[in-house]
Amino acid sequence: MTITQKPKRRRIVFSLDVPAADSVYLAGDFNAWDLRKHPMIKGKNGVWQKMLMLFPGRYEYRFLVDDQWINDFQNPQTCPNAFGTLNNVITVSAREP
């Protein structure tokens, strides 16, 4: 009998350096693009952050900053979306780097 171990979730920290912003939300296919699920927290240095526990896989996401969609400046990996713009893409590995 073979026991298959379920992949473990990984700690992923999303961050965005927009100190002048009043509100920042993280949305993606990991939360069904629901803005209410992942509001980001502004640190003392002005960088907004949100930590998520994600299973290994490929995810698309964007940030909503003061009611404007923007991409992750730190992540050049993108793919087209249905609205004619780009989503960022992150791939969560099953193994530690």
Domains within the chain, CATH numbers bracketed: 10-92 (2.60.40.10)
pLDDT (0 to 100) of residue 74: 95
Regarding beta strands 10-17 and 47-54, do their DSSP bridges make them parallel or antiparallel, or are they unpaired? Answer: antiparallel
For residue 4, the model assigns a pLDDT of 63
The CB-side HSE value for 46 (13 A sphere, CA atoms) comes to: 5
Report pTM: 0.88
pLDDT tens string 13-70: 999 999 999 999 999 999 999 989 999 999 999 999 999 999 999 999 999 999 999 9
The pLDDT value recorded for residue 7 is 73
